[in-house]
Amino acid sequence: MFRSILFLASFIFILSSCKQNSENPKGQSAKTSEDAKSDVVFSMSGKKAFVYTTALNTDLKMSAFDTVGFEEKKQPLETEICVFVDPGKTFQPYVGIGGAITDASAETFYKMPKAQQDELITAYFDKTKGIGYNIIRTNINSCDFSSDNYTYIAEKDSTLTTFNIDHDKKFKIPMIKAAQQLIGKDIMFYGSPWSPPAWMKSNNNMLKGGKLLDQYHNVWAMYYTKFIKAYEAENIPVWGISVQNEPMATQTWESCIYTAEEERDFIKDHLGPTMEKEGLKDKKIIAWDHNRDMIYQRASTYLNDPEAAKYIWGIGFHWYEDWSGGKPMFDNLRRVYEAYPDKHLFFTEGCAESFKSGGYNNWALGEEYGRSMINDFNNGMVGFTDWNIFLDQTGGPNHVKNFCFAPIHGDTKTGQLIYTNAYYYIGHFSKYIQLGAKRIIAAPTRSQLISTAFLNPDGSVATIVMNESDKDVEYYVWVDGQAAKTVAKARSIGTVVVR
C-alpha cells in the first residue's frame, strides 16, 4: 500500500513538473505580460543593414552612411570585432523618448521668429523630418527654469476653489499644443511638482527644501487632480504625474523633501486614493524621480508595501548622482528591474549642467546622452525624458541662475537656432526605435563599442552602436550566423537598422 501511494505521489509530482516547465522553460523566472516574448516574427531572409552615423570632425549628423548585405559567418574569429544581436531574446517594452517643455523652454520659444519656432517643433516632434519625440514633461507650479515663482491658487486657499492654469496658457500650453499636433495620439504628457505652495510647507517657502505639512496631505493630493483636469480641459491628454521632483534634494530653488516612508505613505494614503476617487485611476503615478544612487532603497520601500505599490506605475530617475565626483551608477537600475519586473524604470530628467556659451560644440555633451541611454536601456529602462528641450543663449531663463545646456538653444537676439550634438545623439534612438518595440540582446566583443538593440513592431531591428575611442573601428553586426561589416567612426554613434 505504501509503495502504491509513493508511486502515485511521484507520478503527480512529475506531471506537475512537466506542466511548470512547459509554462516556464529552462527554469527562467516568470516575466510580466509587457516583458513577455514579442509576437513579432523576425527573419533574416532578404535583410540588409542600413547604417546612420553622427561623428566628430565630420559632416555626418544622423546621415545615411552605409548599406551592407549579410553574409554567412557561423563562427567569427577573436580578432574580428562583432556586435552580436539576438532578436529571439526580448526584454522590456519601449514607450518612447522626449523632453521637458518648461516655462524657460516656452518663453524662449516665443521670443524666436515664427520660422524658427516651426523648425524647432518639426526638429523634435516630426517622425519623418525630425527625431520623433512623443514624451513631454512639464512642471506643476514653478521650478528653477521659470522666470518667476508661482502656484495655481490664491494664498491660503485650502479649498482649491481659485485653482486655475492661466499662467501656463500664455506660453507653455500653446507650445505643448504645437508639439501635440505633430505627435498625435501617441503623446505621453506628464507633470512633476517641484514644490507645493509655501504655506503648505514646514519652512513656509517654496524654495530650499522643507516638508509638506501633515494637515495639507489631502489638499495637496487634490491639487494634482486639479492640474490634470485643467490641462485636459485644454484638450491636452495627461498620461500621468510624478509625485515629487528630487525628493531628497534641498535646493536653492523650488524643492520639497520626502523620506522613502513619507513618499510611500503619501501615495497609499492620500494621492492614490484621491486619484481614484476623482476618476483618474488610469493616470500613471511615478515615484522617486531622483538619482540612480538611492533608487533601490526608495523602490523597495514603496514596492514592498502592496497598498502603495498598487498605485505606482514605475520608478522615475535622473542621472545627477555623479555630483559627488563618482561615476554613473547604471547597475542600480538592474537591481530594481530584477527585483520588481512588473514595474517600469523611466528616465525623467537629465542635462549637461554649468552652461558656457563656448560649449555648444563640446562633443562630450552628446556622448553623455549616448552612454547613459545605452546603459539605462540595457538595465531595464522603458523610456527617456530629457530636461529642457530648448533654452536661450544664457542657458536659461532660470530665476536662480542655475543655467544648463539643452540639445537646442535659441539666440533671442539673432533669432538663430543652435543645435548641439546631443540632439543627434538622442535622435539615434528616438528616430529609429518604434513605439511598442522590445529590447533585445546586443553584445559587443570589444570595450571600444557599447550597444543596445530593439526589435520593432514592423519586424526591423534597430541597433545603436557608440564608439567612444579616437579610432575608427571596423565591426560586424552578427545575427543568427549572418554578419554585415561596417565601420564605427571615431567618437561616433550609429544606428544600424536591419530590414
Catalytic option among 107, 254, 349, 367? 349
Contacts of 266 (CB under 8 A, 6+ apart): 212, 217, 221, 243, 258
Judged on CB neighbours under 10 Å (0-12, 13-18, 19+), 76 is middle
Alpha helix stretches (DSSP H) within 416-487: 421-430
Interatomic CA distance for residues 273 and 198, integer angstroms: 24
338 is catalytic: no
The three cell numbers of residue 25 are 522553460
> Which DSSP helix (H) or strand (E) runs through 487?
strand 482-488
Interatomic CA distance for residues 495 and 499, integer angstroms: 12
Q: Measuring CA to CA, which residue among 428, 437, 487 is closest to residue 460?
A: 437
Q: Count the neighbouring beta carbons within 10 Å of the beta carbon of residue 232.
A: 14
User: What one-letter code names the amino acid at 261?
Assistant: E
Q: Are strands 82-93 and 438-444 parallel, antiparallel or unpaired?
A: antiparallel
494-to-367, 428, 434 alpha-carbon distances in Å: 12, 7, 16
Catalytic option among 246, 263, 367, 368? 246
Interatomic CA distance for residues 315 and 260, integer angstroms: 12
- The DSSP secondary-structure symbol of 165 reads -
For 312, phi then psi, to 5°, come to: -95, 120
- Placement of cell 495637496 in the chain: 220
- Placement of cell 543652435 in the chain: 418
The three cell numbers of residue 145 are 527654469
Do residues 457 and 486 make contact, with C-beta atoms less than 8 angstroms apart?
Answer: no
232 is catalytic: no
Interatomic CA distance for residues 318 and 259, integer angstroms: 17
* DSSP three-state, residue 454: strand
Task: Give helix 364-378 / helix 421-430 axis angle, nearest 10°.
Answer: 20
| Sign of the four-CA dihedral 385, 386, 388, 392 | negative
| Burial letters 282-297, b for 16+ CB under 10 A, else e | ebbbbbbbbbbbbbbe
Task: Give helix 295-303 / helix 331-339 axis angle, nearest 10°.
Answer: 10
Do residues 481 and 465 make contact, with C-beta atoms less than 8 angstroms apart?
Answer: no
**Catalytic annotation, residues:** 246, 349
